[in-house]
Amino acid sequence: MQHYKNIHNFKHHAGLYLFLSIFLLYLTGLFYAKDFHTEYKIVEKSFALLFMPLAFGLMPQAKVHLVRKGFWQGLFSLALILGIYSFYSAYRIYSELGYLPTVGARVNEITYIHRPYFGLIQTLSFSYVLSLLFRKGLKIHPVYYLGLAIAIISVFLVVARLSVVALIIVCLYFVYEYLRKRGILNLKTIAGLILFMVLSISVLSQYNRFSERFIYLLQGKGEPRILIWECAYRQFTDRDFNIFLGNRSASTTQDKLNNCYKEESINKTYWAWIYESKENFNTHNEYLNMLLSYGILGLILLLALFLYLFFKSRKEADLAAQFFVIVFAFNCFTENLLARQDSIFIFCICAAIIIYYKKDEITVSAHPE
């Protein structure tokens, strides 16, 4: 209960209040949704936003440190297992069929889980190892170097879009923090970092599979997210749309998207597969989903939570947590990460750790990692 002292101190409990505010937005959707059952499923998935921070608030600081260590090592182990499995599966399919299914319908056979979430986990694993290198230098266990190599190859092998970009951003931030720690950060080094980023993007843009999946529409076969965002944009520009509160429920946003897919599939053939697949494709952008479902209020709360978590982890000099926020925030541009149970739990556990983790409130012997 020590964390709940001075509960009225907003500065001390801002993270908890932001979590509760976002959960309340999900909860209010029950009163506005036409389909109560569908909306309840959305609220049910989001319960971690409520109980995870509250549960961590009951933990003594020593247990928060212990859970933090277990979380990162568990995530690293998961990424390692998934990476090895993907290499084995790719080799098996290549032996049978003579090609690597790194794109197309069979790509999930080598990633085991959905490709964007495979990329997310691998990038987080990569970030964790970088944080160890930053703190301990090159003297880390060899298995971490193996995990680092697997993460890099895995992300680029399946061209996991924003995961590739997030990985580059994490590298740039790592170099920035390293130079700042050494006291050699100046205009020349900053210019070098910017140049590196520009060159990286330029090189990636020449990689056809990456550029085609990330940017372009080709011969009537579109990148689905760009097509989906067209339908989302129509909701935003509808004259009945409430800019401050949005549709007031996520299920209403989804219903309007489904109706748009149906209408467009009649007129444009490259929309047909989206509608005929019978899948309820969401906005594939968490920021866009919050804006449409809960208006500017929801978007501001989400951005405020990300900013709070980043600066709180920066205050505690927790580089792994800073990387986590960067990676998660970037992946929200192409996925509704708070719409899936697994990614909600990963986010809520790490975010709750960030909120209550205090580096200096425990003995050195109990320090994680």
Backbone angles phi, psi at 142, to 5 degrees: -55, -30
Residue 29: CB atoms within 10 Å: 26
Whether residue 241 is contained in a domain is answered as no
- How confident is residue 181, by pLDDT bands cut at 50, 70 and 90? confident
* Tens digit of each residue's pLDDT (9 = 90 or more) over 45-78: 888 888 888 888 888 888 889 999 999 999 999 9
Whether residue 234 is contained in a domain is answered as no
Cα separation of 104 and 314, whole Å? 39
Whether residue 357 contacts residue 309, with contact meaning beta carbons closer than 8 Å, is answered with no
Reading the block at residue 304, the tokens are 């405020």
Q: Is the pLDDT of residue 37 over 80?
A: yes
Q: Which amino acid is at 347?
A: F
Cα separation of 203 and 180, whole Å? 27
116's CB contacts (< 8 A; 6+ apart) are 160, 161, 162, 163, 331, 334, 335
Whether residue 225 contacts residue 334, with contact meaning beta carbons closer than 8 Å, is answered with yes
How far is CA 51 from its chain centroid? 20
Residue 352 vs residues 130, 165, 272: alpha-carbon distances, Å: 22, 26, 42
pLDDT at 350: 94
**Which among 333, 328, 332, 319 is positioned nearest to 346, based on CA atoms?**
328
Q: Is the pLDDT of residue 305 over 50?
A: yes
Whether residue 165 is contained in a domain is answered as yes
Decide: residue 116, CB within 10 A, 0-12 exposed, 13-18 middle, 19+ buried: buried
pLDDT at 162: 77
Cα separation of 293 and 255, whole Å? 11
Cα separation of 22 and 315, whole Å? 24
Greater confidence, 139 or 98? 139
pLDDT at 367: 44
Cα separation of 335 and 114, whole Å? 11
Whether residue 196 is contained in a domain is answered as yes
* Tens digit of each residue's pLDDT (9 = 90 or more) over 3-17: 555 555 455 578 889
pLDDT at 218: 45
Whether residue 254 is contained in a domain is answered as no
Whether residue 268 is contained in a domain is answered as no
Calculated CA dihedral for residues 197, 199, 200, 202, nearest 10 degrees:
120
Mean pLDDT, residues 287-292 taken together = 95
Decide: residue 245, CB within 10 A, 0-12 exposed, 13-18 middle, 19+ buried: middle
pLDDT at 76: 97
Cα separation of 247 and 240, whole Å? 9
Q: Is the pLDDT of residue 319 over 50?
A: yes
pLDDT at 211: 55
Cα separation of 183 and 154, whole Å? 34
Cα separation of 117 and 135, whole Å? 27
Residue 39: CB atoms within 10 Å: 22
Whether residue 69 is contained in a domain is answered as yes
Per DSSP, the three-state class of 305 is: helix
Residue 96 vs residues 91, 104, 150, 183, 218: alpha-carbon distances, Å: 9, 17, 23, 54, 30
Q: Give the range of the structural domain holding residue 145, as residue numbers without chain letter.
A: 2-218+282-366
Q: Is the pLDDT of residue 147 over 80?
A: yes
* Total number of domains constituting the chain: 1
Whether residue 273 is contained in a domain is answered as no
Mean pLDDT, residues 130-154 taken together = 92
Count how many residues are written for the chain.
Answer: 369
* Tens digit of each residue's pLDDT (9 = 90 or more) over 211-240: 555 554 444 455 677 778 888 999 999 888
Q: Is the pLDDT of residue 257 over 60?
A: yes
- How confident is residue 277, by pLDDT bands cut at 50, 70 and 90? low
pLDDT at 270: 63
Greater confidence, 265 or 363? 265
pLDDT at 364: 42
Per DSSP, the three-state class of 246 is: strand
